[in-house]
Amino acid sequence: MRILVVEDSSRLRSLLTECLLKAGYVPDAVATAAEFEQYAAAGGYTAYVIDLGLPDLDGIDLIRKLRNRSDITPILVVTARASVPDRIIGLDRGADDYLIKPFNHDEFLARLRALLRRPVQLAPLEISIGTLKVCAESGEASYQGERIALRPTEARLLKLLVQRKGRIVPRSVIEATLFRFAQDCCANTIDQIVSRLRKALCERSHEIQIKTIKGTGYTLDASPHTLDV
């Protein structure tokens, strides 16, 4: 199970990472809300652990942003804000549990296990853009009922772009989604995957466009114009 942690204290971030690794989880730990959003955009996390006192954005606002875009991933807040009003605000804004610092690591893991046992709202099994349909689990795609032959990396990229339709997906997020290790990704590997995916989509429709945002990443658009090739 993959857990995404955002905690600005380097010491506590390291301790939480070690704690999660020993418990058998696969943690990614970042220090800012901006980094968190990049990792979260890649998807695939079982739970989020969010500190509220972040340097670039209040954790409550980060939680609100996640829920406003229908991210239903369970959230465990870890914070020094101990007052009852603070806890109420955190839970009302979308947190699923609230743990006060300092805390015992065994309790932290117990709360995380309890959180992961709770039933969650089911996400859509299929994402649609016009007559393009993408399986939310596998990334397999079909257009007007006809399956589109895609390689696994192309399917994962399409799923990511569809989930973020109309928004820029940074190359760093694409790399993190498609490759487990940085050495698996050569300088032009992502460009090649994008090119193949464009070609596969172009063979079906010119209304679905993968646009290149130079120096940043890519975005998926669905309007009647020629594909960016």
Q: What is the pLDDT of residue 229?
A: 35
Give residue-wise pLDDT tens across range 93-150: 889 999 999 999 999 999 999 988 876 555 556 777 777 888 766 778 888 778 888 8
Q: What is the pLDDT of residue 209?
A: 83
Q: What is the pLDDT of residue 22?
A: 93
Q: Are strands 217-222 and 169-170 parallel, antiparallel or unpaired?
A: antiparallel
Q: Which residue type is seen at 157?
A: L
Residue 2: pLDDT over 60: yes
Give residue-wise pLDDT tens across range 142-185: 887 788 888 888 888 888 888 777 788 888 888 877 775 444 56
Most confident option among 57-71, 110-124, 213-227: 57-71
